[in-house]
Structure 1
Amino acid sequence: MSEPDRFEDDLLYALTRTGEGFRPDQADQPGMVAGGYQRGRRRWRHRSAAAVVGGAAALALVGTGAVYLTGSASPSGAGTVAAAPAASTGAGTGLTPASAGAGTPTPTATAAVTGDEVLSTFKALLPKGGITEASGRGTDDPQTKGTFASAELVFDDGAGKSRLMLGVQKHRPGQGQDRSCPELKPGQLDACSVTTLADGSKLYLSEGYEYPDHRADTKEWMASLTGPDGREINLSEWNSPQEKGAPDSRPNPPLTLDQLKVIVTDKSWDRIVAAVKPDGVDDAAQSTGLSLQDRQATLAKLLPAGVTVTKVDGNEVFTNVQLRQGGTSGSLVLRVQKLVQQPGDKATEKLFEGATVLPEGGLLKLYGPGTSDSKAMPMADVLRGDLRVMAAQGPTGKPLLSLDQLKAIATSPEWTLKR
């Protein structure tokens, strides 16, 4: 998946998320092997894209920067070979939670870990049993660029084979989202809990099914740990040697929820978490230094007479603005961004292909009625040096601003970098 596609994927998730069971883990990284849950979520997000913005306008919204409208996301980390990690106290028994402090802050990204190291860490935490079809993915994998580590295998304690899959990632501050338990309904989840550990980590445990509609009776039990340092460690197990498409080999998965808890909270993951790079977009690096209050004050001077701001929220780059004109409410998406591009990144250049050159030398792209992308949401996107300003009709309420008015907002010289 290309850079623009990945950003588009995340933006539309942020714009259309319902908060009902979708969580922003990084399913957008190329080659990520986090299983059917993530792939299904990505398909859902792509379907949402067409419903919200459409075509080139979606790419203009995301381009090469932050995509979240609020501080919480979303959506949603050359190898050095080290010795295989030793098992922590209690490892292999699944009975003694020896590492309640697993979520404590760890150093920033360290030397890469290999897939073999991730797999060895996982194996060391399992009880006695046979292991086959084992594989690992480390932070040295060029496909995930260090933002993800994983291991999976087939485990057999003598009572039948079970597929186990584990993934490790790390979110930037404000870009993670804890799991929550839905209302328990017969046949969907047999058990679910969310607890806060001593170090502030949140632990989600559930006993559920691969298919809520029970087209097959395969069970999926899982543990998910989110920590103050941004870590997210997910572990799933099935009572089948495959996640899907294989007969059940035993009545239940082999590990109890307590055993799953011991694995995801173990201190031996600290070293791997430290090697995983944060996923998502670094909003702080693209901040113009304009606070929400600064942006609101500038916008108030640029809005047409009779249109007022009733509420703003957002992050360092995006602002979601609620508007009112008389008795009618509407919204505006405002992007004010310091452009930060990686070497060789051509995404922004492609976004502004065919743009109108402004008198002061900036570039302007328009979307919506009367443009080449006439079915897109009305939007004006401006690039002046390393400052990008975009004003777009928001997803809620009535359209209160014309395309010309959006253009006037985006092209205004009032927008400047404060740092």
Structure 2
Amino acid sequence: MVENQLTQLDVERHFSISRAKKLLHKVSPIFRRIFAVTLTVGMYGCAPEMGSSPSPANSRVGAGVSLEDLSIILQDMLPTGKAVALPTEAESRRAKNFGISYDDGHGAVRIVVSLQRVPDLNSSELTRCPLISRSPTSRCTRSVNVDGSVLVLNQEYEGVQEVGVQRWSAVATSKDGRQTVISEWNRASEQEDMPSRPNPSLSLKQLEAIATDRRWDFAFSGIEAPSPQPDPSAGLMTKEEILAVVKASLPRRIRTSGEEGDPRGYADLKVRDKQGESLLEIQLQRWKPEDPRMAQLFKDGVVKPNGIRLLIRQGPYGHKGAGAISWTADSLRLNGLRVIVTAHNAAAYGVDAVRKEPALSVGELTDLALNDAWDSQS
């Protein structure tokens, strides 16, 4: 496919017209829509593939794109309605973030767009569906396109489900690390506690179309990619290896289900006995043996005869659900391997307790955290 490359004059003309079009918005919405379509077809023609790099002409002008310009482009992509810019704009060398309140006549919604670069597809949690343990209401799909780009579509309640505030999102990440995140809430602004309508205005298909629209491409040349960082989970056990150790170590009365986790270093699962279900989490970390942050963290703990430091924590931290508590056995080995085992009396974060205490006792959590099987990967 032959690509139509943007020239400097094209882009300058685009933004001169965009600013003029903004002034015409209140005068003639119909003209505004016709104008937007004409501008898009006339300027962009055949768009580059999602995985391709922006053209040199795009790179020359991307740094000069303002958040106001990007907000106007977003409004061009929306169905006819009333749009007002929100004070959520933020710009840096690493990202461009902006938002609007949009009303199609059936209740205002908040829409926020973030344009950023990631080092690679595996370095961003946004290229994966959220864990159900952390987002229990999530309804998420992940797809990989033929060009290597990744699309994640998600719907979930934010906060207490009974309140009814929902966040729907689309995240499009190209193979070269350009990432467009569009999020929509069924409330007019972040300050609003209650929903303005039963569901957000735009469907997932409409959010997908906006996230993958080629009109964002030239803006990325003004966004720096973060410097590659060492993978903190490198060398740690895989999710499958962690789960194998856990299931081999659990008391016989315990049954398991709902296994999930990150590729390395973290896994969680549901454990249950006759009293009900409980979330169990296992996290592995690698630290320098004499790191002062670990010395401070474990200062109130105990040191076992083999030199392993152990700290027990009990409380409601990390939860919003009624009556939910967590028990944690946190251990640090002499070589810097940290093993954190946490059990909850709820099935996930943000939901109400389903039992009085977690399914595993503090002693059983301690035994799991001190298990010699973790040392096999040291």
Give the structure with the higher percent helix. Answer: 2
**TM-score calculated relative to the size of structure 1:** 0.45
